[in-house]
Amino acid sequence: MTIKQMAEVSGVSTETVSRKVKEMYPDRVKNGRPTNLIQPEALCVMSELRKKNFVEPLQNDKLPTQNDKVCSFLSERDIAIISQIVSVTVSETIKALDGRMTTIEKRIDDRKALLPPPEIKPRDHINMIVREYVNKTGTPHGKAWGELYRQFGYRTNTNPTTSAKNRDMSILDYIDAEGMIETLESVAMEIYK
């Protein structure tokens, strides 16, 4: 609550409330900024104002005195009981979450085993097709690659050999850079399989 709100509720001037707040909580008052107090602090201040017992705390709350800088309504025994309950609850929650995490990790591992293997990249697939063809037929590598590039040129109306030479690149790099590697792959599959 602000000083103005406390003054309205308790029926006293804002100067009176401000003076009492400065007495009880001097570290909370800053010049040029509104002073906001939490509920227990506001109850402490309002119970100490000129109209004694005008504001009553809740029925089971301990009434704070002026010497209580922090209006604590819990005894040490209450705090000990609460901390014990919280520690037991937290440990049970951690055990439950650990069990759930173990189950989830097992399911993820099971799914990884069911996933299909990664696909072969088009460039690697072309190499594999040409190598298999060379091994089956005994044709030299250069001749097999030359025939592949010739067939590719006929089908795409390009000349990859000359274009790659003009750009100072390998033929396969040129075709890949032009975005036609999948086309070369399909040509290789057709003529060598």
Q: Per residue of the chain (193 residues), give pLDDT as tens.
A: 787 887 777 778 888 888 888 888 887 777 777 777 887 788 787 777 766 445 555 555 555 555 444 445 567 777 777 788 888 888 888 888 998 999 888 888 877 777 777 889 999 999 999 999 999 999 999 999 999 999 999 999 999 999 999 999 999 999 999 999 999 999 999 999 8
Structure tokens at 167: 């750009």
pLDDT at 8 (0 to 100) = 79
Q: What count of Cα atoms within 13 Å lies in the side-chain half-sphere of residue 192?
A: 31
Tokens 């000349």, residue? Answer: 159
Which residues are paired to 2 by β-bridges?
Answer: 36
Confidence (pTM): 0.43
What is the rounded distance in angstroms from the CA atom of residue 8 to the CA atom of residue 120? Answer: 78
pLDDT at 50 (0 to 100) = 60
Positive or negative, the CA dihedral 102, 103, 108, 112 is: positive
Structure tokens at 88: 């037991």
133: amino acid identity, one letter: Y
pLDDT at 51 (0 to 100) = 60
Q: What count of Cα atoms within 13 Å lies in the side-chain half-sphere of residue 88?
A: 6
DSSP 17-48: HHHHHHHH-GGG--TTS--B--HHHHHHHHHT
pLDDT at 18 (0 to 100) = 83
Find the DSSP H helices in the chain.
3-10, 14-24, 39-47, 76-114, 122-137, 141-156, 160-166, 171-177, 181-192
